Structure 1
Amino acid sequence: MSYMADRIAVMYLGKIVEVLDAGGFTSRSCHPYSWALLAAVPVPEVRKGDFEREILYGEPPNAVNPPDGCRFHPRCPRVKAICREKEPELREVEDGHLVACHLAGQFER
C-alpha cells in the first residue's frame, strides 16, 4: 500500500478509528475494524493459511443514529463494557500512529 500513499486513515461510520504510516498498515494496525478490512482482502489460495481472518458478524449500525460509545462496538469481537458506554478518543499509541479504541494494544491480531 505504500506505493499509493504515505499514510492511511481508516474510518468507520464517519469517524477516523486509526491513522498510521502506509508501510506499517498490514503489520502494525491495532484497531479491530482495520483487522477486518485486511482480512477482507482476497489472497491467493497458497497464502490463505498465513493468518487468521477477522470475521465481522451482524449488520452495521445506522449511520444517522450511531450507537452510544464506540461506533464499532456492536460488531467488534473484542467488545468490553467501556466500549458500549464511552466513545474512545483518537490517541497516539506509537510515534505517528493514532487509534480510537479503548483496548488498543491489549490484543494481538
Structure 2
Amino acid sequence: MLCLVATEKIYERAAHPYKHALLSAIPIPDPEVQKKRQRIVLKGDVPSPVHLPSGCRFHTRCPLVTNQCKVEESVFEEKDLGHWVAYHYG
C-alpha cells in the first residue's frame, strides 16, 4: 500500500517540467486512454555532462525557461514529506 500511495503522489505533485515529460512517456495499458494522451516531447539541446550549463541544468530544454533559470541554480529542497524538487517555481 505504501508503494501505491507513493506512486500516486509522484503524479499528483509533479512540479518540474522534466518530470511532466517523463511521466508523459509512460504508456497506459488502456488503448482508449492512451490514444487521447498527449506526449510531451522536449526540444532544445541536451546539456553536456562535462560542460554543464549555468543555472538550472535543464534550462536548455525547458519549455518554461526564464532568465532566472539560466543564471541561478535551483535549490534541491523537500517541499513536502518525502517530496524533493529543485525547481524555482515548484
Of the structure 1 ranges 83-92 and 52-61, higher mean CA displacement relative to structure 2 is found in 52-61
Offset of 1:100 from its aligned partner? 0.1
* AA at the equivalent of 2:60: P
1:81 equivalent in structure 2? 67
| Aligned-partner Cα distance in 1 for 2:45–2:55 | 17
| Residues 1:67 and 2:53 aligned together | yes
Using structure 2 for the length normalisation, give the TM-score.
0.80
Gaps of 5+ in 1: 7-20, 105-109
Local SS of the residue matching 1:53: coil
* AA at the equivalent of 1:91: E
Offset of 1:27 from its aligned partner? 2.0
The share of aligned pairs that are identical, in percent, is 37
Measured against aligned partners, the alpha-carbon deviations of 1:20-77 in whole angstroms (never above 9, x if no partner) come to x33411222211111111111123431132x543220123110111100000001001
2:33 equivalent in structure 1? 47
Q: Supply the RMSD in Å over aligned alpha carbons.
A: 1.9
| More RCO (CA 8 Å, sep 6+) | 1
| Residues 1:97 and 2:83 aligned together | yes
Gaps of 5+ in 2: none
* AA at the equivalent of 2:26: V
Higher normalized strand content (fraction of residues): 1
Local SS of the residue matching 1:93: strand
* AA at the equivalent of 1:29: A
Using structure 1 for the length normalisation, give the TM-score.
0.68
Size of the alignment, in residue pairs?
Answer: 86
| Aligned-partner Cα distance in 2 for 1:97–1:42 | 24
* Cα distance, 1:42–1:59 mapped onto 2, change above 3 Å: farther
1:34 equivalent in structure 2? 19
| Aligned-partner Cα distance in 2 for 1:52–1:28 | 19
Higher normalized helix content (fraction of residues): 2
